[in-house]
């Protein structure tokens, strides 16, 4: 029996970020940059007005006030999108809109609120400093400047900066492609009615959703019968499109545990008992020339989802190039609202429901109990040496429902 | 000038959840149920073994121990997926795998670890209670039982339960469809090089990513020139596919602020100055027969993204049927690692960077500064009555990068 931390460490030592490639900036949302990015153009691209108002020579309106306004002739209107290079001579003004290019010579803007809004002549009672209400070309970003570093997670703000700085495509760590298959003669495809002795293949559906929830790209193969040859052929045919393969079922102590029988002989696959509940039987290794990581999770649905959160999700984050300890933090602290027993010598993952920052049990804790799993907000993580959680104890929780995507 | 809370309240009083429809369970990931759901089949569907071991009449092995094992003839093997209804007579046993149907008559399972693993005769040294290591049909979910309530957010666990319980399609509040358009003669499409006086339309790209990040479905129309007729035609043609329309630009004090001029006359559109920085000029109302909510955000990129987080994101969550105060909580508490000034009388949204639970300023705070925006992790929310944040003060923060999707 090995500890949870040992099994996870072996996994994280094995996996590598997926090979980087170029994506259009909008398609790269949620990905991590694989290279520093430089601005193709400066920002702002040209000196422009920060306000709707009047472009002036600041010296012309120095000392202007409500009591002694300065009147200037308005010789032009400059809208945003005006592509003419204009010049402003001393003693005159031009009406200018936010984002419109400043005329050569002008060094300040009087906001429209500090004028009478005139269109032929304007009476100005504000006296801006030189440079005031003006955005200088390049003050935000210089051309050629590194604007985002390798390792940056791309959200809306980063994508906007890339687009504005003239960057159309970026080199990123792509979303890992994850093949999901479940094993067992008892499985029927969702939508078909199970007969006596049969169950709906809900595991591959659940894990497909789980893969998607951490920002990776799932391919659901679905159920494969307990047949050694068919299982091996399926896995081999999927290796070409997979960055990761996840299987469920067939890894326990049974006489027909095909996954364990077939995969024990290939690649670096290793099958262990991990000191956790649920989720004890775990297999992991790499297969094929491309050394594709393969996770063989147990077949009980609660065991499979717990194993996903504890082992697969951290691996997928690492493969997506997410920095360790990045947002979101893994554990959410909470306080036990009731007491419960925990098995000695195993890390226990108890299904709990949040009530503010307090947690209570989510009902039936059997590893086959999907009803209670679906009612749970999080897994409370009880360390192996703890055999009882008392009301009021602090417990670390792994949220089962994420928040929002980058 | 109206308060942020006033403007948000007007928005949230206006928007309604999107009309519900049916989706396949995997497609419904991240959506909220619009109706209670009942199980089509019981779970487990049949009484089955919780362990790999031997099905027995508990009475046959009562008192079995290491010292005095009980030996029984093994008359059958039952694998998971076995669809034959078998019966076990007293004094015999059948080898049984996890998830395989219990034979009629048997009332307990001896785990393989408590036997010699024999296949013709087996020596048993465990003495399970009646019912032990057996999962009773229906003990998790009864046929017809309400398994998930209207309002439940569907993540991997919920989707697994639906599939397992024979539910193929569910009635949900669909993801809101959000049309994003930006306005201004100065805009050029991303990928084209801006000339003098022009800028890349990064706002519609940014808001498209932002819409996606809260789980809604964006349609990026892109830039529309400052032409009243063209703008109105574009908006009218988009109303048919939009649950929401977002525009940026053209809502300030300028002489060419087309959005404000065109939309002031239609629907229930209302343009206000909101006491916030950045983001003061805001418009909101409903348009067309379907009363489609329209947000007219300011054109400065930082103002637009702040407005999205403060006004649009809560509206989209409400339209998606997300319960108020649901996970994730809106604000994350943090501690100021440095002091900064804030404008009086306005709620200020300061771009900050996390350092553990402490935050420091993210650089240039100008509303046009995309470089600093892209470097920020969150917006620190400084209330109107606060004019200085001191080092060590607690500040509420709105994260700019979400975590993971449901």
pLDDT 10s digits, A131-146: 999 999 999 999 999 9
Chain A residues 258-297 with CB within 8 Å of chain B: none
Say if residue B337's pLDDT is above 90: yes
To 5 degrees, how large is the angle CA B51–CA B57–CA B63?
A: 90
pLDDT number for residue B328: 39
Query: Which residue does chain A place closest to B97, by CA atoms?
Result: A254
Helix (H) or strand (E) holding A334: strand A332-336
Q: Tell me how far apart the alpha carbons of residues B211 and B245 are, in angstroms, rounded to a whole number.
A: 11
pLDDT number for residue B133: 97
**Are A197 and B328 within 8 A, CB to CB?**
no
Mean pLDDT of B158-168: 96
pLDDT number for residue B325: 45
Identify from A200, A211, A227, A277 which residue to disrupt to test chain B contact, counting B C-beta atoms within 10 A and taking the largest count.
Answer: A200
Candidates A50, A199, A215; nearest CB to B45:
A199
Candidates B43, B203, B373; nearest CB to A371:
B43
Identify from B149, B404, B406 which residue to disrupt to test chain A contact, counting A C-beta atoms within 10 A and taking the largest count.
Answer: B404
pLDDT number for residue B252: 80
Say if residue A327's pLDDT is above 60: no
For residue A363, name the pLDDT band (cuts at 50, 70, 90): confident
**Are B156 and A376 within 8 A, CB to CB?**
no
**Are B166 and A200 within 8 A, CB to CB?**
yes
> What tens digit of pLDDT does each residue of B232-288 get?
999 999 999 999 999 999 888 777 789 999 999 899 999 999 999 999 999 999 999
Q: Which residue has 């170029």 as its token pair?
A: A22
Say if residue A324's pLDDT is above 70: no
pLDDT number for residue B21: 95
**Are B206 and A160 within 8 A, CB to CB?**
yes
- Which one is predicted more confidently, A398 or B62? B62
Say if residue B345's pLDDT is above 90: yes
pLDDT number for residue B402: 54
Q: Are strands A244-248 and A378-382 parallel, antiparallel or unpaired?
A: unpaired
Say if residue B326's pLDDT is above 70: no
**Are B226 and A81 within 8 A, CB to CB?**
yes
- Evaluate the CA torsion angle B159, B165, B166, B172 in order and state its sign: negative
* Domains of chain B, first to last: 4-18+175-319 (3.40.980.10), 21-43+141-173 (3.90.105.10), 48-135 (2.170.190.11), 332-399 (2.40.340.10)
For residue A404, name the pLDDT band (cuts at 50, 70, 90): very low
Q: Tell me how far apart the alpha carbons of residues A144 and A207 are, in angstroms, rounded to a whole number.
A: 43
Q: What percent of chain A has pLDDT over 90?
A: 87
**Tally of CB atoms within 10 A around A39:** 23
pLDDT number for residue B329: 44
Query: Which residue does chain B place closest to A163, by CA atoms?
Result: B202
> What tens digit of pLDDT does each residue of B180-200 get?
999 999 999 999 999 999 999
Chain B residues 335-394 with CB within 8 Å of chain A: 354, 364, 366, 368-374, 376-377
CB–CB of A279/A349 below 8 Å? yes
Q: Tell me how far apart the alpha carbons of residues B132 and B111 are, in angstroms, rounded to a whole number.
A: 10
> What tens digit of pLDDT does each residue of B19-45 get?
999 999 999 999 999 999 999 999 999
Chain B residues 79-98 with CB within 8 Å of chain A: 79-85, 95, 97-98
CB–CB of B49/B55 below 8 Å? yes
Chain A residues touching B257 at Cβ < 8 A? 52
B45 is written with which tokens? 């569907």
> What tens digit of pLDDT does each residue of B71-84 get?
999 999 999 999 99
Say if residue A328's pLDDT is above 90: no
Q: Tell me how far apart the alpha carbons of residues B173 and B19 are, in angstroms, rounded to a whole number.
A: 6
Query: Which residue does chain B place closest to A308, by CA atoms?
Result: B156
CB–CB of B399/B353 below 8 Å? no
pLDDT number for residue A401: 76
Q: Tell me how far apart the alpha carbons of residues B335 and B355 are, in angstroms, rounded to a whole number.
A: 10
Report pTM. Answer: 0.93
CB-side neighbour CA atoms (13 Å) of A180? 24
Mean pLDDT of A86-111: 97
ipTM value for the complex? 0.92
**Tally of CB atoms within 10 A around B266:** 15
Q: Tell me how far apart the alpha carbons of residues B312 and A378 are, in angstroms, rounded to a whole number.
A: 28
């Amino acid at each position: 029996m090995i500890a949870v931390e040992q099994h996870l460490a072996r996994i994280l030592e094995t996996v590598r970020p997926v090979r980087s490639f170029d994506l259009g900036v909008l398609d790269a949302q949620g990905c991590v940059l694989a290279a520093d990015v430089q601005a193709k153009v400066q920002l702002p691209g040209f000196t422009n007005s920060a306000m709707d108002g009047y472009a002036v020579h600041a010296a012309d309106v120095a000392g202007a006030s409500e009591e002694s306004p300065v009147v200037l002739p308005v010789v032009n209107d400059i809208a945003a999108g005006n592509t003419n290079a204009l010049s402003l001579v001393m003693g005159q003004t031009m009406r200018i809109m936010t984002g419109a290019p400043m005329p050569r010579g002008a060094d300040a803007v009087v906001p429209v609120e500090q004028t009478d809004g005139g269109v032929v002549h304007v009476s100005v009672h504000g006296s801006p400093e030189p440079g005031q209400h003006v955005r200088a070309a390049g003050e935000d970003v210089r051309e050629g400047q590194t604007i985002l570093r390798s390792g940056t997670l791309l959200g809306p703000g980063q994508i906007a900066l890339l687009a504005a700085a003239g960057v159309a495509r970026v080199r990123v760590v792509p979303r890992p492609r994850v093949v999901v298959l479940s094993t067992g003669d008892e499985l029927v495809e969702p939508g078909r009615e199970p007969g006596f002795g049969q169950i709906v293949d809900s595991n591959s559906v659940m894990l497909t959703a789980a893969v998607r929830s951490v920002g990776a790209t799932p391919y659901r193969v679905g159920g494969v019968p307990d047949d050694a040859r068919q299982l091996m052929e399926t896995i081999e045919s999927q290796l070409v499109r997979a960055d990761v393969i996840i299987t469920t079922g067939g890894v326990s102590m049974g006489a027909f545990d095909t996954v364990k029988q077939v995969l024990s002989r290939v690649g670096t696959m290793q099958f262990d008992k991990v000191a956790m509940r649920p989720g004890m039987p775990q297999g992991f290794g790499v297969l094929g020339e491309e050394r594709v990581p393969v996770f063989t999770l147990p077949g009980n649905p609660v065991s499979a989802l717990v194993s996903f959160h504890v082992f697969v999700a951290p691996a997928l984050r690492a493969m997506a190039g997410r920095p360790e300890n990045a947002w979101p933090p893994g554990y959410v602290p909470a306080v036990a609202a009731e007491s419960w027993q925990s098995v000695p010598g195993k890390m226990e993952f108890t299904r709990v429901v949040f009530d503010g920052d307090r947690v209570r049990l989510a009902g039936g804790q059997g590893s086959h109990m999907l009803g209670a799993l679906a009612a749970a907000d999080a897994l409370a993580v009880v360390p192996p040496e703890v055999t009882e959680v008392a009301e009021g104890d602090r417990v670390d929780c792994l949220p089962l429902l994420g928040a929002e995507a980058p």
